[in-house]
Structure 1
């Protein structure tokens, strides 16, 4: 039986200080239920208020902080891209953005934020009550949320710029698919360039231009994300995790993991185990996530 795509919905309140910047191996949408604070995406800073929606892809480093006098509280949704890709590839477009130019925040006063907020509350209700067929209902709600995102960004983006986004996405997608399938193996820029029928220099430029990151950093991100999953979900020795994630030697593995996650692999595994125990005791539906580097 095929494994179901990841769907994870949870309640989260940031600290009043800024946690380490982090990335995820999945797509992420946040809805501010109450309070205020600040969200950081690379060099961008967004104020947060009740009703705001935030969009995060798997590449952009981000962090959040609460207002000490009015702490923010969110519903966050993590999901695997295959969930929406199977329905309509176009729904992925809001998540394929150049970080420096993308507006991650949809302010609460906009129609899209209000509609997405309503869908988030319906999603949370399905998740909490778990009536028969709730998984199908949750998938349907997530697709509706992604449709609202797509329509919002189409409306907010000049048509010429949106057409360039479409062209860029379909130009680089074969390379991303190839890397996602092969990142656990030795892989070079030349391999990817050959797949795209481009020169290595042109392929390098395409990554930087379309994703805002280089090929090497993109590959490292995928491998570190895989290592995080294995550290949190298995008892494999760290050396085996390293090889299973596509790294060939300890030095590059430890440096990349520390750079991207902000913690050493063993520390991350210990923190993940503590969080899993806390969730088991508290009940996942009511969990507030905090300090695990992500």
Structure 2
């Protein structure tokens, strides 16, 4: 999937010397959007310190309860919405994956980083407290909270240590996917057909025909493989594309709805509201406002952090 350049995150996450950053976001009762839909080259660990949220990563959305966390791989389109009206507090550790293998040190890079970057090893996205190894990662992530306000020069060693321990746990419990399952391989033409034709009034019969299966057999196999019906997948994909256009273009809501395969504007508005808790127009306006606020806040934070680099780092010793 081509990533819209308009949705690329413009916030700096560390710098060349310190390739990571710890952020926090707090939202009070007004509005449901926490993090606008965006992508960045870095990986991210996101935790709900307070309140429940819905996390969206590419085409998947899950309910992240208070005290749980999420792993977001590099270049993944992601967003976050409040699951209720209460205050929510998020903690994010954003980092360049090569921090795990500085200088591409051969054994570290080939054994622990390259398989993840190639996609042959996949990390668990939703980290839950009830699972011991996942709870260990959650507590490690929680321990980074104080570093939101500590200059990079004083948090470097600690954050590198925490990141390496988290990566080790994720890798130890990762799913190796050297080759796609037979079921997915058989359904891949159908998925590709949805991605290429979602703009048009396609039916489940049209999709099933791509893999020479009856509608009933295709629907059962699709649900077994993707844990969602073909109808729901098509709807989710259309809404996902609508979200991208809402944030990356100036097209009207009606133009976006019809461009993405909805033949009824009222139905589009209803489906969108059911999944986000807000209207398309309000979503667009709130996302733009949050993007501007987050960019401004991080720019100021980076300026302050650089100001507090100890003078002893650059001062020459006196004889």
TM-score bracket, shorter-length normalisation:
0.5 to 0.7
1:75 is paired with a residue of what secondary structure? strand
TM-aligned CA deviation for residue 266 of structure 1: 1.6
- Does 1:113 find its partner at 2:128? no
8 Å contact 1:53–1:108 — kept in the other structure? no
Q: Measure the CA separation in 1 of the matches of 2:199 and 2:121.
A: 27
2:210 is paired with a residue of what secondary structure? helix
Cross-structure match for 1:136? none
1:196 is paired with a residue of what secondary structure? coil
- Does 1:202 find its partner at 2:217? yes
8 Å contact 1:7–1:77 — kept in the other structure? no
Q: Measure the CA separation in 2 of the matches of 1:47 and 1:181.
A: 37
Output one character per residue of 1:101-121: Cα deviation in whole Å (capped at 9) or x when no partner.
xx642779738838x95xx99
Equivalent in 213, 227, 230 of residue 228 of structure 2: 213
- Does 1:237 find its partner at 2:267? no
Cross-structure match for 1:263? 278
Output one character per residue of 1:111-161: Cα deviation in whole Å (capped at 9) or x when no partner.
8838x95xx99xx9xxx99xxxxxxxxxxxx9xx88964641449xxxxxx
Q: Measure the CA separation in 1 of the matches of 2:263 and 2:115.
A: 31
Q: Measure the CA separation in 1 of the matches of 2:232 and 2:24.
A: 29
8 Å contact 2:199–2:261 — kept in the other structure? yes
Q: 1:268 to 1:212 in 2, by over 3 A?
A: same
Cross-structure match for 1:186? 201
Q: Measure the CA separation in 2 of the matches of 1:150 and 1:170.
A: 25
Equivalent residues in 2 for 1:40-59 (5 A)?
A: 46=65, 48=67, 53-55=69-71
Cross-structure match for 2:268? 253
8 Å contact 1:16–1:65 — kept in the other structure? no
Cross-structure match for 2:118? 88
* Structure 2, unaligned runs of 5 or more: 14-21, 56-60, 96-113, 154-162, 303-319
Q: Measure the CA separation in 2 of the matches of 1:85 and 1:183.
A: 32
TM-score (norm 2): 0.53
TM-score (norm 1): 0.57
- Does 1:13 find its partner at 2:34? no
Q: 1:255 to 1:270 in 2, by over 3 A?
A: same
Q: Measure the CA separation in 1 of the matches of 2:133 and 2:32.
A: 30
Q: Measure the CA separation in 2 of the matches of 1:220 and 1:22.
A: 23
Q: 1:76 to 1:148 in 2, by over 3 A?
A: same
* Structure 1, unaligned runs of 5 or more: 79-83, 96-102, 130-141, 156-161, 288-294
Q: Measure the CA separation in 2 of the matches of 1:169 and 1:210.
A: 7
Q: Measure the CA separation in 2 of the matches of 1:18 and 1:31.
A: 21
Q: RMSD over aligned Cα, in angstroms? A: 5.4
Q: Measure the CA separation in 1 of the matches of 2:233 and 2:36.
A: 12
TM-aligned CA deviation for residue 255 of structure 1: 1.8
Q: 1:43 to 1:221 in 2, by over 3 A?
A: closer
TM-aligned CA deviation for residue 18 of structure 1: 11
Q: Measure the CA separation in 1 of the matches of 2:184 and 2:30.
A: 32
TM-aligned CA deviation for residue 55 of structure 1: 4.4
